[in-house]
Structure 1
């Protein structure tokens, strides 16, 4: 609450005056209440308030929280004889930047010109405290009454350092984001703007064939879900289509934009029988307000893979399951086949999530995706770096663990994995325990081991494990 020089109980009582003077007394009380109301309102934000007499520019301190705005002027009722001399001394003492300009902005003539019609006039400046601390401050000026009637005005001070520094930081951030948007426009052949509220998309830039029905930029809106699915079906390499349908879904990109400022991935496109590498990039127009929209850019990156290093990076990307980050089926199987061909024996184990459809139906596909990623992470962490961990697709995974040729040692490893899976913590599951069924087949040292045979053997054991509730593994025993 503001510290007041004149309180309500100190107002004059019209009944104590002759009838012909009561109107003057009521006017006096009204003016005092008006000043009190203005100061009380300002006092919610401003730490120090002066009241200045317009006639002689004398001033007295109306409110203070203890922060000095003049040497020694921290007591209520402190008076200063001349506003212009006071403000000049204040600026000389405390203002450290643009002091001449600030002085022109707050001299009595400028202030009166700015507030005469009842407007609030503010001036921001950099202030140095008595302790040598720099911070952004503000002076605010307002008439203490109605225009044409007021004989006083208010001068108030407040600290705006946090607000100004946040504003500067936000502007810098938006400038950097604008640079990214401009770079996207320069570097990408095809650019689309996605409305996160409606799920619609418009073409901003089109250079070459994208998919059926799209020939030039326009204001025409397309449903994003329809457009991207058609694009994937029409252009994307068949083996990459399932993963890209997930990676480019509306729900996925919205989630990515809430988590990060840029979402980039590469994939393969099939053009007239030739395979080409493409890259997509999604960025928010304004990361602080996603409703401003998302930009999506697509470009051919064949030229980038000319260097061996970048070729290797894209090769790894082509082998990776986009959703989980582990190897995809094609690359995983090739690595196992190569290992067996080079005489490296071990265990091939297949893991299948139990009742995965039930998880999707009861908790939603987003939660199902978290389960898929969570189990992939467990398999990656619990098996060795040299072991081959890959996703077969859907809710199935496979692992080839080298040099595990005995059931007992294999079971110890798998039991450790089971223990981690049953403890998988996903809040949205509300305590539901995830389990998997597993089947394993061991390659025999010194004998020819065929991947297809190992896979079929392990897969048949998965179905046996499905008959048991909870995590279970069965091993294939050769006759």
Structure 2
């Protein structure tokens, strides 16, 4: 999708072809266009994804997406929710993992416009959760798409600043040698050690947590790294993680990890008084510009972070699940299909509707109707594969997107198996009534421009035709 704001300089109007009394207006028009394209081009040099948003209608248009460091799911989200308020709410909820409350406040339309109304650039830095589950430093930038008072459009741009931030930290680190760094780490880390990677000598800079056998409190006394490394793992680390931990924090591994990075972070589990707790270690170079620079090692408890992540995951699962049947609800199911299509994953979209379902409720009671609804969901689970997307549309309607299935013959085989399983449904309360469904199916071939709405309409029209046939049936479109 491209915005109509993209105008190249060689497409500007030539004043010479206009009468003299009109040339001033033409030159003014050209100047405004140059200012506009200049702003977008300037941001485009640094930001990998750029949206242009109308502050009146809140409509979003994708100006640029290089694919470089771009979160595919985030771009797909913009196409799914082309209203700024809805998009930014979903984006922050799904991808932002630090300072969430302040970010939610700062991205609201009124606040953004108040920051950029005079032509200023407004940026927000945060940690982003990427498609692969990793986190990185990221930045949003907002700017007017034109001169103050002359445009209703503004720009929302995204870029990955992970390398920039980490390099900045490394460049400044030599100024904060020991105590300055310790003060920074002390906000989070209970135990902090200074390590000489060449000799293996260790000095304790902070020791507020567990004290490893053979060590005392913070001071100038020098210990062997083996005391910290081997004794700590043996006495403190959860048995199932010990073998991994011995390798993870050996000096050889640490030096290898820090060859190309100024920071090495990972997590492990600790056994304390019969309970398992989650911990994190961080090793950083004191001066990334000096070969074999001394290291700082920090150890901290991250139970709260793990708990909140699990809680968030549970809430996400709950929000995406249809409570009646236990399969995906309409919103989450459609989002997954849209994402699959955006990634050119071919497949068959099948929509099915339970025939004469109203009779089950009216004549046999809603309890029986609910049993039928759950029974259909169970049949869908056993008929389709884990990679397929099954969800309830609402009422007595269901949908399935069957991955990598794009021809009618194969579709018939799958749906005949589905109909056979539905025919086996047997509840005593049905009083010999049989459950039948009417289905419609349509194919997305992949690599073809087609929206989910178009595919849905095709499949849905097939349901209407199948209703004219007795028993379970499918019509392909």
Normalised-by-shorter TM-score class: 0.3 to 0.5
What is the TM-score normalised by the length of structure 2? 0.36
Q: Which structure is larger by alpha-carbon Rg, 1 or 2? A: 1
